[in-house]
Amino acid sequence: MARRFIVDNKDIKYFSKEENIMEIKGKEVKHIQVLRYNNDDMIIVNEYVCKIIKMHSNYIELEIISNAKKQGEPNVNLTLFVALLKGDKMDLVIQKSVELGVKSIVPFISCNTIVRLDEKSKIKKKEKLQIIANEACKQCGRTDTVEIKDILTFDDVIKNIKSKYDINIFAYENEHNKYSFNETMNYVKKKEYKNIAVFIGPEGGFKVEEANQLKEFENTKCISLGTRILRAETAVINVISIIMYELDI
């Protein structure tokens, strides 16, 4: 099977549809060159199987041969809302979320978030996390891409989720109904929901006021992950694993 490369849409230039010719530039060009690909070699660029027409120093001409066979794409549209975590914990969250089947990831900053970024740093952070997501897609054989959304404030999260998802699954350490996750998954399966949002807070957890804002939505189900307090990165893996086990069939 041809090797897959993920190229940002802004780095792709399409020519005549009849000829199915396109040019790519950007970081993946250097990657392809380092791997010593030559003219007439086959590669996969995003969703297309392509033949290399000509290698140039800073771009590559390609002929689109066909659509790539879909592989590893989830059957449920799962969006992860996760507070920014310090150090390399966020990198781990992105990588494992992609491997487990999340479709998009929305990082946010809440009251107890340790990481604080200015607008310029937010852009750089998003770009770094997108690279990690792309690499994880390639590593686990997914033929779709996982989009890292803009880093939001918690207030912006609240403004943007109203009526957007079939259900919001909110993992909250102060939720004491130990059966709630099982009940929630049974409810989701009964309703055949496919557009789901999951909310995981920062190292210090959500403030009560923030939790109450999320709970106010009629489609929010607050769940417990048991009597043990999990690290944020562990909670992400736990919740996504269970949801995808139950729904991604």
Give the CATH number of the domain where residue 199 resides: 3.40.1280.10
Q: Is residue 191 part of a domain?
A: yes
245 has which bridge partners?
A: none
Task: Select from 67, 90, 109 the last residue of a domain.
Answer: 67
Structurally, the chain folds into a number of domains equal to 2
- Any residues with CB less than 8 A from the CB of 231 and at least 6 apart, and which? 89, 203
Q: Is residue 72 part of a domain?
A: no
- Same domain for 220 and 114: yes
Written as six digits, the tokens of 171 are 């993992």
- Same domain for 186 and 143: yes
Mean pLDDT of successive 10-residue stretches along the chain, which has 249 residues? 86 79 92 93 91 93 90 92 94 97 96 91 95 93 92 93 88 75 93 95 91 92 88 96 89
- Same domain for 204 and 121: yes
- Same domain for 60 and 82: no
- Same domain for 205 and 85: yes
Q: Is residue 186 part of a domain?
A: yes
- Any residues with CB less than 8 A from the CB of 64 and at least 6 apart, and which? 20, 21, 22, 48, 49, 50
Q: Is residue 214 part of a domain?
A: yes
End-to-end CA distance of the chain: 25
Task: Select from 13, 32, 67 the last residue of a domain.
Answer: 67
Q: What is the pLDDT of residue 1?
A: 66
Q: How many CB atoms lie within 10 A of CB 242?
A: 17
Q: Is residue 139 part of a domain?
A: yes
Helices (H) and strands (E) in the chain, counts: 7, 13
- Same domain for 93 and 46: no
- Same domain for 213 and 111: yes
Give, in degrees to the nearest 5, the angle at Cα 198 between 196 and 171.
135
111 CB-side CA count, 13 A: 7
Q: How far is CA 79 from CA 140, 199, 217, in A?
A: 18, 9, 17
Collapsing DSSP states into helix, strand and coil, what is residue 42?
strand
- Structural domain including 11 reads 4-67
- Same domain for 220 and 99: yes
**Look-up: residue for tokens 């770094």?**
128
- Same domain for 38 and 103: no
Q: Is the pTM value of this prediction over 0.95?
A: no
Q: How far is CA 72 from CA 45, 76, 149, in A?
A: 16, 12, 21
180-191 and 232-247 are packed helices; what angle lies between their axes, rounded to 10 degrees?
40
Task: Select from 67, 96, 111 the last residue of a domain.
Answer: 67
| CATH number for 15 | 2.40.240.20
Q: Is residue 54 part of a domain?
A: yes
- Residue 180, classified by CB atoms within 10 Å of its CB into exposed (0-12), middle (13-18) or buried (19+), is middle
Q: Is residue 212 part of a domain?
A: yes
- In this structure, are residues 171 and 235 in contact, taking their beta carbons and an 8 Å threshold? yes
- Same domain for 239 and 185: yes
Rounded to the nearest angstrom, the gap between the alpha carbon of residue 171 and the centroid of all alpha carbons in its chain is 18
- Same domain for 202 and 139: yes
Find, among 162, 156, 131, the residue nearest to 146 by Cα. 131
Helix, strand, coil % over all residues of the chain, rounded to 5? 35, 25, 40
Q: How many CB atoms lie within 10 A of CB 40?
A: 10
Q: Is residue 165 part of a domain?
A: yes
pLDDT digits (tens, 9 = 90+) for 91-116: 999 999 999 999 999 999 999 999 88
- Same domain for 181 and 127: yes
